[in-house]
Amino acid sequence: MTNIESLFSYTVGRYEAVDHLLSMGVGAHFAALIFFILTSRFVAPRYRTATALSCIVMVSAGTILYGQSNLWEQAFTYNQSTGLYDPAQETFSNGYRYVNWMITIPCLLTQLLIVLNIRGNDLFKTATTLILLAWAMIITGYVGQLYEIESLGTLMIWGAISTVFFIGMNWIVGTRIFRATPDMPAPAASPMRKVFWLMMFAWTLYPLAYGMPFFEASSTGVVIRQALFTVADVSSKVIYGLMITYIAIQRSAAEGFEPAMQVTDLLPQRGTVAA
């Protein structure tokens, strides 16, 4: 048993809340996948990799959430006599998420650098540094969460080590965003700054979910943790991806890419009469 999820029995309401949150996450990611596929043609080839990376993130995260939702259903059985869902043979674990972040976070960071128009050697070096910091953050966090039942102290120590990498990564992300925005076209610069604050908000929810055994080790804490994960997932991947695609389209339009100019109204639509 590695996660506090397997320690408790759940009322029908709490059990279903978690089940529904996980299913909602699956739906949001696959719906967004369709959107990214359909809108990629409005993004200039120069930025299209960013949208492609969003597609990869959607499939990867959507699949893992589907697995989490199945696992949740297998990990508890309904007890007729108490009216509660009790732990079953199978144990629930959040560890799958951490492993999945090894793939999704590098994609999220790289797509950011692409819409910031960072290229060549600079792209390679910055992406490598960010990815190494992210992996260090995830691996230390993964090790820490293995101790969440056994030793809260160990959980917090690994969490603190992981946070050092997290801060380093955010520092680089923030510096690059705020250095690039003055040279970006206005309709792209403003959402770009918002992306930074969205990241700060959404990414911080993950360490809060990690620390839940410390703050509230109960079935309520489990529901709060899964709610935090869901809000974090939808914000850091789906909403973030939509904003990145929006920025990519705005940049494409400003650079004269016709399909982007059409959707952003920079070109008169065929068939409309000029006033």
DSSP assignment letter at 235 = I
Among 8, 47, 206, 246, binds ligand RET (CB under 6 A): 206
**Min separation Cβ 262 and ligand RET, Å:** 32
Instruction: Name the residue among 1, 5, 4 with its Cα closest to residue 22.
Output: 5
b/e sequence 64-74, b meaning 16+ C-beta within 10 Å: bbbebbebbbe
Count, residues near ligand RET per rule CB under 6 A: 18
Rule CB under 6 A: is residue 203 a binding residue for ligand RET?
yes
Residue 26 CB, nearest distance to ligand RET (Å)? 14
Q: What angle do CA 56, 57, 59 make, to 5 degrees?
A: 65
Q: Determine the 3-state secondary structure of 86 from DSSP.
A: strand
Answer yes or no whether residue 195 interacts with ligand RET by CB under 6 A.
no
In this structure, what DSSP letter does residue 217 have?
-
Residue list 43-62, contact with ligand RET (CB under 6 A): 61
Tokens of 40: 């990629």
Q: Is 29 a residue that touches ligand RET (CB under 6 A)? A: no
Three-point CA angle 143, 231, 34, nearest 5°: 105
Residue 207 in contact with ligand RET, rule: CB under 6 A: yes
Write out the binding residues for ligand RET, residues 76-135 only, by CB under 6 A.
101, 104-105, 108
Stretch that binds ligand RET, among 37-45, 75-83, 188-196, 200-208 (CB under 6 A): 200-208
Select from 16-24, 47-55, 80-88, 157-165 the region that touches ligand RET (CB under 6 A): 157-165
Q: How far is CA 3 from CA 16, 126, 161, 211, 248, in A?
A: 19, 34, 20, 12, 40
Among residues 163, 218, 235, 262, the one that binds ligand RET under rule CB under 6 A: 163
Q: Can you give the binding site for ligand RET, defined by CB under 6 A?
A: 61, 101, 104-105, 108, 137-138, 141, 159, 162-163, 166, 203, 206-207, 210, 236-237
